[in-house]
């Protein structure tokens, strides 16, 4: 069983326990109801009712039940590269290699980042991989995951805000210059399994900010920041602009120099820790094979 605690601040004096848990601690109504029924909402170590009045200095603890695990597929630990570049007891940040799928599925039970992390944390009871955001198989770079359900929910609520920022580097075809914003609504292509398209009538809002870092005649290096998080958003926006990502088999042209992947890399992640309030910022350099394209 994991536990999350927070001390009541002087300005929070007189708050009811239930409202404190929902607000300051960020639990959902459903989660709070489950915790109350199990006696898992404590003040100074004693189980209390939701109407209990709090005082400054009280320590509120939520005793989270153990995760039951995935019901759709059995995750088998597999030894392999899974670079964890930062972690504490609640969160880990991985610099994902490519090509490597993030999670197992009914169609692919092995050969994923999830399998490798299951091996890495095989001696940590109850470990589950809970990605806050996902990267495509062909995309490398930084992604965050939570070690329990509550922290995952808190972090996902911050996606696409200033408290959770993701930046990418892409090597794109042709000479791309300047900076700006793509505001190109997207939807799933009719009859397609994964392919997305720009559709100004039926598409959902999709916004990507870009800045060209190194223009070139054959390839250009572009920095991108997501404002929304649609599936394949960066890939679709760049392709629509006439500069598909190098090696993108779905929206551009596959490259022998990049087997199984394309030239997109999650290079920077910055997020506010949902429990400590600390701002965490990490960077990952452009992988060698992608950098080599710029000089080819």
Q: Tell whether the model's pLDDT for residue 179 goes beyond 60.
A: yes
Task: Tell me the pLDDT band of 79, cut-offs 50, 70 and 90.
Answer: very high
Could you identify the residue written with the tokens 């075809």? 173
Q: What is the mean pLDDT of residues 204-208?
A: 96
The kind and range of the H/E element at 154 are helix 149-156
pLDDT at site 5: 81
In contact, 236 and 198? CB cutoff 8 Å? yes
pLDDT at site 73: 64
Q: Tell whether the model's pLDDT for residue 68 goes beyond 70.
A: no
Answer with the residue of higher pLDDT: 187 or 29. Answer: 187
- What six digits make up the tokens of 61? 């603890």
Q: Tell whether the model's pLDDT for residue 174 goes beyond 70.
A: yes
pLDDT at site 217: 92
pLDDT at site 167: 96
pLDDT tens for 33-49 read 777 777 788 889 888 88
pLDDT at site 91: 95
Helix/strand/coil for 15: coil
Q: Count, in order, helices (H) and strands (E) of the chain.
A: 6, 16
CA–CA distance, 195 with 187 (Å, rounded to integer): 9
Task: Tell me the pLDDT band of 71, cut-offs 50, 70 and 90.
Answer: low
Q: What is the mean pLDDT of residues 191-219?
A: 93
In contact, 271 and 158? CB cutoff 8 Å? yes
Give the distance from CA 106 to its chain's centroid.
22
pLDDT at site 49: 86
Q: What is the mean pLDDT of residues 184-197?
A: 89
Q: Tell whether the model's pLDDT for residue 70 goes beyond 70.
A: no
pLDDT at site 151: 87
- Across 11-15, 48-52, 141-145, 157-161, the highest mean pLDDT is recorded for 141-145
Give the distance from CA 5 to its chain's centroid.
24
Tell me what percent of the residues of the chain surpass a pLDDT of 70: 95
* Given the residues 51, 67, 88, 136, the one annotated as active site: 136
State the pTM of this model.
0.79
136 flagged as catalytic: yes
DSSP letters, 24-35, are TS---HHHHHHH
pLDDT tens for 226-242 read 999 899 999 999 999 99
- What six digits make up the tokens of 270? 């910055």
- What six digits make up the tokens of 41? 């909402």
In contact, 114 and 130? CB cutoff 8 Å? no
């Amino acid at each position: 069983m994991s536990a999350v605690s927070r001390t009541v601040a002087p300005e929070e004096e007189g708050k009811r326990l239930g409202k404190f848990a929902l607000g300051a601690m960020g639990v959902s109504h459903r989660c709070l109801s489950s915790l109350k029924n199990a006696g898992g909402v404590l003040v100074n170590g004693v189980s209390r009712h939701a109407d209990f009045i709090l005082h400054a200095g009280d320590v509120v603890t939520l005793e989270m039940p153990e995760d039951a695990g995935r019901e759709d597929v059995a995750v088998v630990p597999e030894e392999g590269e899974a670079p964890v570049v930062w972690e504490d007891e609640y969160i880990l940040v991985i610099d994902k290699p490519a090509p490597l799928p993030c999670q197992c599925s009914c169609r692919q039970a092995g050969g994923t980042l999830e399998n490798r992390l299951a091996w890495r944390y095989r001696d940590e009871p109850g470990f589950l991989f809970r990605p806050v955001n996902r990267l495509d198989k062909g995309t490398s770079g930084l992604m965050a995951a939570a070690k329990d359900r509550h922290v995952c929910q808190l972090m996902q609520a911050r996606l696409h805000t200033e408290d959770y920022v993701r930046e990418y580097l892409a090597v794109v075809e042709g000479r791309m210059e300047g900076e700006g914003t793509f505001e190109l609504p997207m939807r799933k292509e009719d009859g397609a399994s994964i392919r997305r398209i720009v559709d100004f009538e039926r598409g959902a809002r999709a916004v990507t900010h870009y800045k060209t870092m190194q223009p070139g005649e054959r390839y250009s290096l572009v920095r991108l920041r997501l404002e929304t998080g649609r599936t394949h958003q960066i890939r679709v926006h760049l392709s629509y602009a006439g500069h598909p990502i190098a090696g993108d088999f779905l929206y551009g042209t596959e490259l022998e120099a990049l087997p199984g992947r394309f030239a997109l890399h999650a290079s920077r992640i910055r997020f506010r820790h949902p429990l400590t309030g600390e701002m965490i910022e990490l960077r990952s350099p452009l992988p060698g094979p992608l950098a080599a394209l710029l000089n080819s």
